[in-house]
Structure formats: C-alpha cells, structure tokens
Amino acid sequence: MPLQYDPEFIKEAAPLLQVLGAAGQLPEHDVNSRRAFFGSFTSQMPPLPENIEKIIHHASASDGYQVPIFHVRTKGAQDHEERQPAIIHFHGGGYIFLSAEQCFPPHIAAVSQTGVQILSIDYRLAPENPYPVPFNDSWTALEWVYENAKELNIDTSRIAVMGESAGGGLAAALTLKARDTGLSPPIAKQILVYPMLDDRTTTNHVGEMAFWTPADNITGWTAYLGTDRATDRVEAYSAPARVENVEGLPPLYLDCGQLDLFVHEDLEYARRFVAANIPVDLHIYPGLPHGFEAFSAGTDVTRRAYENRYKAMLSF
C-alpha cells in the first residue's frame, strides 16, 4: 500500500494543499520568497488567558546583540516556594524564516495544559547571520537562563530544551555543547519535534506530498552553512546528525510525521540513543508531513501529538 495523507489531515488541510499546489516549487536559494510564503501561514497572537503572562527578557551576545527571550508562564510561578521546571524553546523555520513571536501561540496552550514555563529564544536568522551566530545566540540565552534562574524561580536541575524543525536542530546542538563543556547541572531532557539534523539530506521519499522539499532543505542549510554544506567541514554543533558519540546526552523525546523529509535522519538519530541505552520516547505519525499540526489543529492525530509532547514536558 503506497504512502498517503492521513484522511483527517487531508480533509482539514485541503485549503493549504490548494495553496501549495498553486505556488509550485520555489527555486533553490530563494530565501525571500520562502520568508513571504511560509510567513503567511503564521497565526495572529491570541489573547492571553487571565492566568498566563508573557515577559520579554534580553541576553547580551558577545557582539553586543540583545537576544530576545519570550517567556510565558502562569502568573505567580515566580512566587512558588519550590523552584519550578522550565523549557528553553527554539522555533523552526529552516534557519531562514519565522521568529519566536510568530511561533508563540502554541506555547500559551502548552503552559496552560502543563504549568511548565517556556522561554522561547529569538535567535538571529541566516543568511544574514549564518552559523555560528544562531547557535551562539541560543547558547547565550541558555546561559542567561542558568545565571538568572534564582530570580526566575527556575530549578536548574529541571531545565529541558525543545524545538521544532530547525529549532529542534538547535536544541539538539545545545545538548552536545552542554555535555562537552560540562554544563552544571546538565540539561535534563531534549524534546525534539521533527528536528532538522542533517545538512546532507536531499532524498524525497514522498514526492509531491512533502511540505518541506529537498529544494527547501538545500536553501536552508546553504544559508546556514554556506559552501560547507554537505562537506566534511561541517561539525556536529551545526548539524547534530554529524555527532559520532551520543554517550552522556540527556533523555530524548522525538516525534516526526512519516511523510516528513526528516523522518529518516530523525530515526537514525534516535537509534543512536537506543544503542547507547539512553531513554528514548519516539513517535512516528503515519500520513503526516512536516509541520502538520499547524494545518490540522482539529484532528485526532494532532491532539494525540500534543498530548505526547505535553507528557514529555511533564516528565523530567
């Protein structure tokens, strides 16, 4: 039986599929067109529930840039007698588009459902700011959270990293540096949602059903890595699939759609954790492409995916 879209997904995402079909394939390396196209699908910021608050912090990068940190938490979280867990989040967008603010709405529901606060990092984008700038911005923000944990009432032994797509790649990369530099306390968990891990991926196993195509992938990785993309000059901090040893890394949650270009690299990454006897919580959703939840919020499979992510947020 050939691969096909999940029936509920295709019904709810029908308007998007028409738009994608009409748009056709964008040329490789056309960053601005992708920014305009994918940015058009972001939703407006919903009103905050009465018990949720949003704060914007800033962390100073080594070049003086002030990295914005969008912090969402339940009101009064800073007043709890015991310090609270926190998730440091990195948004998706292929390293070339979207922002922490554009990807903020799902955090409101996540915090409402779990009570776990989220700090989402607005790292600078390629190609204007190629690697290592986005990685360094993210590390700067991570260090800032650790340094300010007391004032934020955050338990540094219960800090997880989380990200979708390129943000999942950044989250994975930060766990590598945290391990290699002996960050203390270590990162407690990594929650990776269809992470973008391997700059060498160009094979499309689902044809026209792919929402993120090889041309998109080449465009994003080339903007991020330049002419180093797909060469032996790429290091694991920029493309975590390049890591040779996962020993000492924190437990892994990973989910991905089977119709996602990244499913093979993600499965291989998870396999290494299984082989290293590191706890792994892996979910592959048949019939779903990259970024599926943004276009099918009302389907059972999307609700199930969010439930699995919320459980991961509560278990570290």
- 187 token code pair: 């990162």
pLDDT in tens, 210-250: 999 999 999 999 999 999 999 999 999 999 999 999 999 99
Question: How far apart, in whole angstroms, are the C-alpha atoms of residue 121 and residue 140?
Answer: 10
Q: Is the dihedral of CA 19, 103, 66, 139 positive or negative?
A: negative
Question: How far apart, in whole angstroms, are the C-alpha atoms of residue 126 and residue 81?
Answer: 42
Nearest alpha carbon to residue 265 among 233, 290, 292, 231: 290
pLDDT in tens, 186-199: 999 999 999 999 99
Distances (CA, A) of 84 to 73, 117, 184, 186: 10, 8, 17, 16
Return the SS3 of 103.
coil
**Residue 2: predicted pLDDT:** 87
**Residue 19: predicted pLDDT:** 79
- 237 token code pair: 């901090």
- The DSSP secondary structure of 245-261, one letter per residue, reads --TTPPPEEEEEETTST
Pairing of strands 66-74, 52-60: antiparallel
- Domains in the chain with CATH codes: 7-313 (3.40.50.1820)
**Residue 51: predicted pLDDT:** 95
pLDDT in tens, 241-289: 999 999 999 999 999 999 999 999 999 999 999 999 999 999 999 999 9
Q: What is the DSSP letter of 116?
A: -
Residues of the chain below pLDDT 50: none
